[in-house]
Amino acid sequence: MSRYKSIVVLTGAGVSAESGIKTFRDGDGLWENHRIEDVCTPEAFARNPGLVQAFYNARRRQLVGAAHPNPAHLALAEFERQFAGKFTLITQNVDDLHERAGSQNLIHMHGELLKARCLKTGAVVPWNEDMDSTTPCPCCKQLGVLRPHIVWFGEMPLDMEKIEMALEQCDLFVAIGTSGQVYPAAGFVQLAAAYGAHTVELNLEPSQGHNLFSEHYYGPASQTVRQYFETLS
């Protein structure tokens, strides 16, 4: 029986790194010589939709073709299945590896790579293939109106009300594999702590905001996640 009643977990790119999906800020942080901040904005999409679509087409192909959940995704899903309290998994990742591992109460705050959004109607539809300016929208049939269902810099993350409510109610907040450089996610630890939650960081190395957490475990997520969550069961 766990001593916690309500747990919020925030994951970032580090949780999917061992599934072969590149993180954003490790290494050179570049995609074909473009800064990530120059590709992941609505302005970049308006200026050069072909470049932005190519970035997401490449990542979508990798996700559909080669990526699989790793032991960190599986450990989180397994913990959620047997936990008697409330468990909320907030991911900044746009891959579907948490759902493929079996996670249930999951929020994709930065959107989903396997969905497309119509700029005309706002409709969100499942999408597993490439898209470009010649792809007709399945809802309105127009060309050039589909964009990846992704939250870019300057756009409002999804489900913020639900997230804030979960952070207010939780007694344990665990951040896994995130560099703590992108807001509002980077501020969740302070919000949870202000509402009285115990805070834990699991990361490969100390993140930018590591001193905001009261407990830390460093190493690959495939090991630290299982080890840490076993101590809670």
Footprint of ligand BJW on this chain (CB under 6 A)?
12-14, 17-18, 23-26, 40, 92, 94, 110, 150-157, 160, 177-179, 181-184, 203-205, 207, 220-221
110 annotated active-site: yes
DSSP reduced 3-state for 195: coil
- What is the spatial distance between Cα 157 and Cα 76, in angstroms, rounded to a whole number? 23
Angle between helices 71-82 and 221-230 (to 10 degrees): 20
Catalytic residue chosen out of the listed positions 73, 108, 110, 149? 110
- For ligand BJW, the nearest residue by Cβ is 14
Rank residues 13 and 89 by Cβ distance to ligand BJW and give the closer one. 13
Q: First CA to last CA across the chain, in angstroms?
A: 6
- What is the spatial distance between Cα 160 and Cα 168, in angstroms, rounded to a whole number? 12
Rank residues 6 and 92 by Cβ distance to ligand BJW and give the closer one. 92
- What is the spatial distance between Cα 70 and Cα 74, in angstroms, rounded to a whole number? 6
Beta strand ranges found along 34-136 (DSSP E)? 34-35, 86-91, 106-108, 111-118, 124-126
Rank residues 28 and 65 by Cβ distance to ligand BJW and give the closer one. 28
Residues 6 or more apart from 73 whose CB is under 8 A from it? 15, 16, 19, 97, 98, 100, 101, 103
Rank residues 88 and 108 by Cβ distance to ligand BJW and give the closer one. 108
The answer to whether the beta carbons of residues 97 and 73 sit under 8 Å apart is yes
Q: Which residues are catalytic?
A: 110
